[in-house]
Structure 1
Amino acid sequence: MGIRPGHDMAVTVIVDTPLCRYFSPALTAFRPALEPMGQRLAEMLLASLPAFAGPEGPRIIREVWPLELVARDSD
């Protein structure tokens, strides 16, 4: 096809893994802060359970977490 990632098009993956740097070209990726995200998800899960909910009852929580962009050769 003649399309070259990193030159003619950008390729970005959602979660950075050690393998991303070994692709050719190395893949640009987003890196989430997994430990704080996991802690917050556990808090949100507990808050959604009736036994842990406040007097208003369980609530729907929506949050956006920051991601770090790891720019490599595929961008």
Structure 2
Amino acid sequence: MRGETSEGPIADVRELPDGRPALVAYTALDRLAEQCGENQPWMLVAIESLAEIKEQNKFDTVAFDPKFEAHLRENGRLL
């Protein structure tokens, strides 16, 4: 599930293997590009803003720097 606004995506929530929803977050742009692709949209979010994001996009945890298989990317973006 990806949250959207008129300006574009605001959050990417993915299901973990155990079924819990997790907010996808990267701690560095090079890690984001390596795992999601060079054309992956992104935004900088302060930790203090996570509560507001959680209100709009229900998640149980934050997945920092998750690894994604190459087949999940297309046109330099995560599917």
Give the number of the structure whose alpha-carbon radius of gyration is greater.
1
- TM-score under structure 2 normalisation? 0.21
TM-score norm. by structure 1 comes to 0.22
